[in-house]
Structure 1
Amino acid sequence: MENHPNTSSSTMLTQRYDIPPEGVLPVFFLASLSYAMILLCNLILLLTIVLNKKLRQPMYMFLLNMPVNDLLGSSAFFLHLFKSLLSDNGRLWFPACVTQAFLIHIYAAGTVLILTAMAYDRYVAICLPLQYNAVMTQGHVARIVASIWLLCLLLIGVLFFLLLRLPRCRSTVHNIYCDHPSLLALVCVDTTLNHAYGLFTVAVTQLLANSVIIFSYFRILMVSCRSRRADTKVKVVQTCATHLFVFLFLEILGLCTIISYRVKQLPPTLRHFIGSSTLIFPPWLNPIVYGIKTKEIRSIIVHFFRSKITKSCASKLCFSS
């Protein structure tokens, strides 16, 4: 299958993991543990917001989309990873390869836009507190959430439409998972339009996100500096520092991934690790950061587990007596 002209081939071959036979089982166990933690943490955050009426505020409605998006991206990556480790090959059906790439790019764009919406919400809450309820109505929040997903689907949908219209003459994906740059490298005709549109999608999402976030946090910083109340400053710092950390962490990982594609001298193992890190660390970190740092969510989760432990202990005491 190695790069023979074959536009009709429905089977792809992704890059194999450079793992010795004795290391496959430990890697599979570590990957399973990582994916289980991602599932557990994101589902806890998701169910906590969905099942508690106290968390019907706009901030939590935006946050609700984060675990959904993280589960999409991480599942698209880990399910193929498990298959590759168990079968010791990277063979993948072409529609499955395209689906994986599509979900990964939806995840990347969605993360940036969700964080942008959360920054806008914090701007209105801190800079326009008296107008917050009038501005952030349920209808307005629903329109923002719908716009995020529609914009993701539109941008990424067009990106893959432009890709799929081109004939393929290669079948080896030079990456451990399928993404748009790797699939575009399989095409043997002019891809100038595809590259131009790819840059356009990156420019739109990054320009929109960075403009809103820089403006929002600049105004929040100004309001914080003008405030004479120490507790207000502490609250602003605690609220915004977490959000900025998550956003900057994601941007750094994304930048490193883009650079790793351009640096040909980079060892393949390091390039694969950098590319995978964007799909592993944010989905694992986001629910922990927002679950622990958000007081309301933390108190609900702690109360739930305490009540379960108390009931369990009480039932055991009753049974023993």
Structure 2
Amino acid sequence: MENQTFSGDILILEGLMVSPDSSIPAFVFLLLIYIFIMVSNIGLVILTFMERSLQQPMYLLLCNMSINDVLGATVVIPPVLRDLLMSNSERYIRYSDCAIQAFFVHLYAGASHTVLMIMAFDRYIAICNPLRYATIMTTRMVVMLSVWAWGAAFVLVAILIGLSVRLSRCRSVILNLFCDNATLFKLSCENVFINNIYGLGYTVVLLGSSIGTVSLTYLKIASVCVRSKNRVLNSKALQTCTTHLAVYIILHVSGFIIVILHRLPDSFLTEKRTLAVVLGHVALPALNSVIYGLQMKEVRQRIMALFHNNRVALLDVK
């Protein structure tokens, strides 16, 4: 595949390394996951805005996570599905499209951290300052937090990708099944010292602020729960915080796997490594809707009520 001649704007994608016999099962499996991600996450957003009982700061902030999961899945899974139906010689992408995909891949990753940060802040106010919760977490505050979460991720990622796009290219093969920042600057033979410095700073700022914020809020929450003798408060705090913490841990585990795999030599680009990268971008959006949709009592009750009402309506029609 590397010996073929392409124009300077065309890049060759490695693609998902599966045998011809496995391509159709892999296609069906990923398609079903993608449909589940879209239906569950979009369904949660629609349900939140339809049901007045769910129009609370916690659920409105959760909509940010659902929208981000739809973005993250859409930017990766459909191109992979397309490549599964093509031969190796047809797996290519324009450089401009590659840069756009890389931008949204990192925007998804960055927003995952910033959105979880503002959700941790919401839980902190709800548990540690319950009497002031309504006055602090107003609609305006929810909008401001949401704008900050997306705006901060957008600016950081725009600089990250911009530094890679400025580099000249001497290679045309993407040793990955989708584009990200690492694959972009690996196409260049120039000195990428500035990219590495900013990339390191970007990682330190994003992960440092994320881990610091979540750790501090959970220490405060734990302190309040230890001092409180209110079992109802402690039980509710444990339920909501466990859900949030589970998503946060999954995010970090999948992120570290992808970062480590990018640091391995190209000789380790095996089917297992490629599959691990796919799962890192597919599993989290699918798990988020399950964790939040099924673990949160209010959401679960509204979903069950909708199904019950629809069933009764169908019986009445018959």
TM-score, scaled relative to structure 1: 0.94
Contact 1:242 1:289 in 2 (8 A): yes
Equivalent position amino acid for 1:159 in 2: L
Cα distance in 1 for partners of 2:283, 2:113 equals: 15
Note the 1:114-133 alignment, pairs <5 A: 114-133=115-134
Structure 2 residue aligned with 1:269: 271
Cα distance in 1 for partners of 2:31, 2:4 equals: 35
Among 300, 303, 309, the residue aligned to 1:307: 309
Cα distance in 2 for partners of 1:253, 1:29 equals: 23
**Cα drift, residue 4 of structure 1:** 9.1
Contact 2:15 2:178 in 1 (8 A): no
1:72-128: CA deviations, max 9, x gaps? 111111111111011123211222211211111000001111111100100011001
Equivalent position amino acid for 1:116 in 2: M
Cα distance in 2 for partners of 1:42, 1:197 equals: 33
DSSP-derived class of the 1:309 partner: helix
Task: Find runs of 4+ consecutive structure 1 residues off by over 3 angstroms.
Answer: 3-6
Structure 2 residue aligned with 1:19: 18
DSSP-derived class of the 1:87 partner: coil
DSSP-derived class of the 2:171 partner: coil
Structure 2 residue aligned with 1:2: 2
1:136-188: CA deviations, max 9, x gaps? 12212211110111111101111111111111111101111111101110011
**Cα drift, residue 314 of structure 1:** 1.6
For the structure 1 residues 195 and 4, does the alpha-carbon distance in structure 2 shift closer, same or farther, using more than 3 Å as the test? Answer: farther
Equivalent position amino acid for 1:62 in 2: L
Contact 2:125 2:133 in 1 (8 A): yes
Structure 1 residue aligned with 2:248: 247
**Cα drift, residue 310 of structure 1:** 1.1
Note the 1:1-321 alignment, pairs <5 A: 2=2, 9-89=8-88, 90-264=91-265, 266=268, 268-316=270-318
For the structure 1 residues 181 and 3, does the alpha-carbon distance in structure 2 shift closer, same or farther, using more than 3 Å as the test? Answer: farther
Contact 2:102 2:161 in 1 (8 A): no
Contact 2:18 2:271 in 1 (8 A): no
5+ residue gaps, structure 1, are 317-321
**Cα drift, residue 270 of structure 1:** 2.1
Cα distance in 2 for partners of 1:219, 1:251 equals: 21
Identify the range of structure 1 (12-21 vs 240-249) with the bigger mean alpha-carbon deviation: 12-21
**Cα drift, residue 28 of structure 1:** 0.9
1:202-233: CA deviations, max 9, x gaps? 11111111111001000101111111122222
Cα distance in 2 for partners of 1:225, 1:258 equals: 37
**Cα drift, residue 5 of structure 1:** 10
**Cα drift, residue 263 of structure 1:** 2.8
DSSP-derived class of the 1:187 partner: coil
**Cα drift, residue 39 of structure 1:** 1.0
**Cα drift, residue 16 of structure 1:** 3.0
Equivalent position amino acid for 2:11 in 1: M
Cα distance in 1 for partners of 2:122, 2:19 equals: 49
DSSP-derived class of the 2:85 partner: helix
1:231-285: CA deviations, max 9, x gaps? 2221111111111111011101111111122233645222212211221111001
Number of aligned pairs? Answer: 315
Cα distance in 1 for partners of 2:16, 2:276 equals: 14
Identify the range of structure 1 (268-277 vs 190-199) with the bigger mean alpha-carbon deviation: 268-277
5+ residue gaps, structure 2, are none
Percent identity, please: 31
Equivalent position amino acid for 1:314 in 2: D
For the structure 1 residues 202 and 65, does the alpha-carbon distance in structure 2 shift closer, same or farther, using more than 3 Å as the test? Answer: same
For the structure 1 residues 16 and 137, does the alpha-carbon distance in structure 2 shift closer, same or farther, using more than 3 Å as the test? Answer: closer
**Cα drift, residue 45 of structure 1:** 0.8
Equivalent position amino acid for 2:201 in 1: F
**Cα drift, residue 2 of structure 1:** 2.7
Structure 2 residue aligned with 1:319: none
1:33-89: CA deviations, max 9, x gaps? 111111111111111112222222111111011111001111111111111011123
DSSP-derived class of the 2:12 partner: strand
